[in-house]
Amino acid sequence: AQTVTQSQPEMSVQEAETVTLSCTYDTSESDYYLFWYKQPPSRQMILVIRQEAYKQQNATENRFSVNFQKAAKSFSLKISDSQLGDAAMYFCAYRSADQDSGYALNFGKGTSLLVTP
């Protein structure tokens, strides 16, 4: 199975500032999807953004954007103009294009983001 690594267990950012969360993954596949999910204290998993591996253009969703480096197998999340509501656990996830995988998600261990006023 593919391995997803989030090397930052905790990060802190001041309100209105920008923060980048790191994610690397290990795969021999050329086609796959990458996702960032947010898990607030309610523990509901919420999709933040997703990236198709065959697209070179980095995905953006309002204040959230990714830096996808396919050769380096890196998929970082940038949060601009951080808000108190952004405080949560953030999970990076990989989804294989291989049908035998059932298209299940492989998750990293998460990064806890603290937003300070």
Residues at the contact surface with other proteins, assessed by CB under 8 A: 1, 4, 31-33, 35, 37, 42-47, 50, 52, 91, 93, 95-99, 102-105, 107-110
- Residue 16 or residue 104: which is nearer to other proteins going by CB? 104
Structure tokens at 117: 């006023």
- Nearest distance from residue 6's CB to other proteins, in Å? 8
Residues 6+ apart with CB under 8 A from 32: 2, 53, 94, 95, 96, 97
- Nearest distance from residue 77's CB to other proteins, in Å? 15
- Residue 13 or residue 91: which is nearer to other proteins going by CB? 91
3-state secondary structure at position 86: helix
- Nearest distance from residue 82's CB to other proteins, in Å? 23
Rg (C-alpha) for the chain, rounded Å, is 14
CA atoms within 13 A on the CB side of 8: 19
